[in-house]
Amino acid sequence: MNRSFASIVVLLSVLASLTAAYTTIMFPNTQECYFERMKTGDHFSITFETAGKLPIDFAINDVNRNPIYSMPHTGEGSYNYVSTVEGRYSYCFKNNAPHEIVVNFNPHGPEEETFLAGHDASPAENEVRKLSHNIEEIKDHFNFMLFRNEVHEHSVSDTQKRMFNWAILQTLALAGACGWQIYYVRSLFKIRGVV
């Protein structure tokens, strides 16, 4: 019992350390590629999301730089792949927009996937591995949600500042227009000699 509990704790701690999210800023009309070295039969998965769901192009290329999978004009996505040839695979993000786009992505390479595969394990250990993988996916999604929340908080605070400054400008303009009208009406009556 202690051995299985210890193996579960080790499994969860290793999974927690393996989870890593990356964030990159894509400048206008640029492409950024990342590489993963895989052996035949290795499993690779990736999830990504852009700030504000702005569209980018996503593609996975094989060893010969031939496209395996592409998702044009998307703000989020995920893809799983099992390699057929040993070598260096690439996954690329391309920004065709005239503005910067922030991309947050989570690759899961062969090391993680090999660790999650059940090698002569009991059904309980296999279920724990599946549960750990599901927890990892939930953690990835939670990180995306935190990232999205930070972006929205920044947008909201900027909008509130602009609205406040605009309200002050309108108040000053209204006070100036009222003062000018009072001055004009008083000077009009002074000319006529009523005041």
| pLDDT band, residue 6 (cuts 50/70/90) | very low
Provide the token pair at 113. Answer: 């996937």
How far apart CA 65 and CA 176 sit, in angstroms, is 66
Q: Nearest to residue 52, comparing CAs of 31, 73, 76?
A: 76
Query: What's the pLDDT tens digit per position in 153-181?
Result: 888 899 999 999 999 999 999 999 999 99
Token digits for 16? 């927690």
Query: Quick one: what percent of the chain has pLDDT higher than 90?
Result: 38
DSSP state of 194: -
Predicted pLDDT at 61: 93
Q: How far is CA 114 from the centre of its chain?
A: 26
Name the amino acid, one letter, at 50.
T
Give the C-alpha separation, 48 to 34, whole Å. 13
Q: Is 75's pLDDT higher than 80?
A: yes
| Predicted pLDDT at 119 | 58
**Which residues are within 8 A (CB) of 126 and not within 5 positions of it... i.e. 6 or more apart?**
118
C-alpha closest to that of 126 among 117, 134, 138: 117
